[in-house]
Structure 1
Amino acid sequence: MEFSNGVNIIYGPSNTGKTYIVRCIDYLFGSDENPIDETTGYDCIKLIVKTAKGSITLSRKLSKKKVEVLSSDNKIESGTYLLKGKYEKTINSIWLRLIGVDEQYFIIKNEQFEKQCLTLRTFIHIFLLTEQRIINNKSILLPITATANTATISSLLFLANGNDFGEITPQEDKKIKKAKKNAVVAYINKELSNLADRKGALAETLALNKPLNLDQEISNIIDKISSKETAVTVAISRNQQLLKELTNTNERLSECNILYNRYQELKSQYSSAELKHDFLH
């Protein structure tokens, strides 16, 4: 099927595949739902988009989360693109570049000013309409689910005047803020109660013990330290005296050993002389 520029209307009798065509297009726009039953024998959806600089062929197999892209337009690179992931490699980035949005932008997600990435699916319901959507009393500008109203409106504001909401600071929900405040108050009260209990326990402990004279206790400790220091000094002095006496004793012992050895030599000489004398007589 070939489409022309501007509004395209798919019409015909019931059960002739009009809804299937819309679902197939939506599938290549990033829908998670298979557009047709795989038992029909079809397993791939293909769409060719003609641009001012060439053409782009998009192919996606049923139940797959990736789209194969073959491009002759130098603005779009050929390759495999995912439904989700790094922005530059998602199918969303291709469709946005084709309408002039070349960079990643953020829009407001909800009334707390939380942000989400701008995607084609945020506002595709405005341009891709089923029969049921057309006859619905609800404005086509609004999404099917009410929770997406804020995201859709902020995406339209971006498309209309280029407002980027990337710098918006999220606001905390009043209920959450109140709950956090109550939690902090409860924690502080609990800690104060624990401190009061601790104070009471310490007061009871002090009441059971006699009051101490800190100055006297410090003085006693200092006296004990002085006494120990004196004992250490005496012990060191005594040790030095013993060391001196030991040195003197060792010196005398050395002298005695020398004299003893000399005595043994003289004794040996005397014995030899006496034997010689007896032999001669």
Structure 2
Amino acid sequence: MRNFTLTHLTYAGSGKPTAQVIFSPTFTLIYGSSDTGKTFIVNSIDYMLGGHVAPSIPRARGYSQILLGLQLSDGSPVTLVRRPGSNRIHVHHADLRDLAHAPADTVLSARRTRSGHDISHRLLSYLGMEGSYIRTSEEGNTDILKITDLAHLSLVTDSRMVSSTPPSQRVRNSTAKTISRSVMRLLLTGEEEPPASRVPNAAQRRVQRGQISLIDQLVIELTAKLTAQENESELGRRLSRLNGTLEELTRSLREETSRQTETVAARTQLAAAQSEIATRLGEISDLLGRFGILRQQYESDLARLEMVSEAGNLLGYFQVGRCVFCGADPEHQHPQHGIEESTHLHDAVIAENSKTHALLADLKLTIADLETQREELTQRYALALSHSQELDLAIERLEAGLLPVNARLDQVLTERSEVERNLEVLARIGELDERRTELVSTGALPSKRSEPFTPARAVTSFDAVLQRTLDAWHVPDTANASYDPYGGDIRAGGSFRADRGAGMRALLHAAFSTALARYCLDRELPHPGFIVFDSPLVTYREPDHDEDDYIPPDVNDHFYRHFLDFPCQTIIVENSAPPPDVVEQAHVIHFRRGSNRRAGFFPPLDDDHEADDAGTTEETHPRLE
């Protein structure tokens, strides 16, 4: 994109000390007390860019040349030299900063000429806008764009800053209103006005006007459905960011879900193992219960055998009569009968006792082994239970961690759907705008029409930039800021700029020019490449001023800081001091009367003061290149 920056403004004269200010390619602030030449600097720049009224103050008498330095987009230097009151401007393809004596490379007229040999054509050629047409009347007349039609949008004097004239217009009249609409359309869309040509007949125009009215109504209805003030590019970038966020959330959700699935599977396997252990513990407990009863039975049998053995001996030896062992009567018993029977019984008891002891020993070994198994299984069950509790807590944590991810995922999906709907609406509006442009270009409107058409999506995009600018400055009561492409004024906080107080009018005018510069530069649309403001922070109030026009003190700081990283060369002339961080980062020139610092644009007349000021110019900061 082609543009140029201002490098310096110099007043030179034979026998006069040079008066000069050097501009940073980024941000230059000139502030100080009144009557020090600040406004004179802005008016001089305006004059050198094709203005017709030469700035005049008593201190400027005797200066014969005004030099304005430019740097083109390719880095080439250009110096414009003009004598105050002259209609001729000398163009030097060099960086001159003192009284010029060498012949000029080109001498141009300050006023427009038929041949195009004028400063307007030359400056527009630097911008790549020479030969562009704009509408000059409601009847459909067109003319070549002039630099004065464009410069007032970038250079705002103090009188225009607070004027109730719409910021898009240089003066207030019907012709200027038509021209300003056409120029704004050129800047917002990059489309110039086609030269006047033959139009369709009345019947064809009636049909086409009906189509245009229908398209306008559809555009209004579609615009009402938009839920954001972003343009297609901004929405596309937001959609791309949302898709990236969605991929990250999906990947995170997939990872968390995978971990949750693995944890649940481990918990399920552990639950199965716990069930097997519990089943085995139940079986062992049942066996131990039965073996305990059997053990008691064995021990009882051993006790009875011992008792039988003892009782048999006793009964066999001392009892007379029928044999207690075999039941034989005395007459059938031989002499050793009792002893033999007792011996046989004793042997039988011993044999049974040995057998029972052997069975009991085996049973005890079995019981001991089962108790060992039960102890091991009990420990394993306790460990499994502890691990289960840990897995349960881990599952709960994973589920709790998935909640915000799912909530964010739902939010991103909702936002993406909204962006896609807005993109669809904007695409439809774009199609309708193109169709309307086709109808207009074929002469659908009669030769006399109320206003040129600016596409709704371009106005909506510019409105978004304007609102962001006011928000960045923290200007109160400026919600829903918008530009009226028909009236040329801007509305903010429910009121037009013309209906606000002087201080708010100045801020809104500055915001309009600032937003226009950013809009054009961001989209590589035509723009001079610089903005110059005279007293944008004026806080004029009548004695009975309305509190609605009150400007908070922090607006001053946010206003200045906004231009530290602004993509356009900015030159501001103000009375108020900037915050310290702006002084450190910007190129600041402070005019102070009654000090040994710089007293104003022109060097002091007093010789002593001139000596004091000889080595004092601007405060140089890192941003000055």
Range into which the TM-score falls when normalised by the shorter chain = 0.5 to 0.7
Residues 166, 10 of structure 1: alpha-carbon distance in 2 compared, 3 angstrom cutoff = farther
- Measured in 2, the distance between the counterparts of 1:122 and 1:36 equals 23
CA deviations 1:90-142 (Å, max 9, x no partner) are 101221122232x3122101211112220110122221112232233544223
Q: What's 2:139 paired with?
A: 112
CA deviations 1:41-94 (Å, max 9, x no partner) are 122211111223310010011121110001159xxx931111221454210122
Residues 168, 91 of structure 1: alpha-carbon distance in 2 compared, 3 angstrom cutoff = same
Q: How much has 1:166 moved relative to structure 2?
A: 3.6
Q: Secondary structure at the match of 1:53?
A: coil
**Where does 1:63-212 land on structure 2 (aligned, <5 Å)?**
63-71=85-93, 78-82=105-109, 83-101=111-129, 103-147=130-174, 148-169=176-197
1:41 to 40, 43, 62: 62
Q: Secondary structure at the match of 1:95?
A: helix
- Measured in 2, the distance between the counterparts of 1:120 and 1:7 equals 23
Task: State whether residues 123 and 156 of structure 1, in contact with CA within 8 Å, keep that contact through their aligned partners in structure 2.
Answer: no
Residue segments in structure 2 that go unaligned for 5+ positions in a row: 1-20, 96-103, 199-445, 450-625
Task: State whether residues 47 and 55 of structure 2, in contact with CA within 8 Å, keep that contact through their aligned partners in structure 1.
Answer: yes
- Measured in 2, the distance between the counterparts of 1:7 and 1:109 equals 35
The percentage of aligned residue pairs carrying the same residue is 25
Task: State whether residues 34 and 63 of structure 1, in contact with CA within 8 Å, keep that contact through their aligned partners in structure 2.
Answer: yes
Q: What's 2:310 paired with?
A: none
Q: Secondary structure at the match of 2:178?
A: helix
Task: State whether residues 114 and 169 of structure 1, in contact with CA within 8 Å, keep that contact through their aligned partners in structure 2.
Answer: no
Scaled by the length of structure 2, the TM-score of the pair is 0.25
Q: How much has 1:6 moved relative to structure 2?
A: 4.7
Q: How much has 1:173 moved relative to structure 2?
A: 6.3
Residue segments in structure 1 that go unaligned for 5+ positions in a row: 175-281
Task: State whether residues 80 and 92 of structure 2, in contact with CA within 8 Å, keep that contact through their aligned partners in structure 1.
Answer: yes
1:58 to 80, 90, 95: 80
Task: State whether residues 87 and 104 of structure 1, in contact with CA within 8 Å, keep that contact through their aligned partners in structure 2.
Answer: no
Residues 10, 168 of structure 1: alpha-carbon distance in 2 compared, 3 angstrom cutoff = farther
Larger relative contact order (C-alpha < 8 A, sep ≥ 6)? 2
CA deviations 1:16-41 (Å, max 9, x no partner) are 11121111111111111111258711
Residues 117, 6 of structure 1: alpha-carbon distance in 2 compared, 3 angstrom cutoff = farther
Residues 23, 152 of structure 1: alpha-carbon distance in 2 compared, 3 angstrom cutoff = same
Scaled by the length of structure 1, the TM-score of the pair is 0.53
- Measured in 1, the distance between the counterparts of 2:106 and 2:158 equals 34
Residues 89, 26 of structure 1: alpha-carbon distance in 2 compared, 3 angstrom cutoff = same
Task: State whether residues 87 and 93 of structure 1, in contact with CA within 8 Å, keep that contact through their aligned partners in structure 2.
Answer: no
How many residues are treated as equivalent by the alignment? Answer: 170
Residues 19, 59 of structure 1: alpha-carbon distance in 2 compared, 3 angstrom cutoff = same
| RMSD over equivalenced CA pairs, Å | 2.8
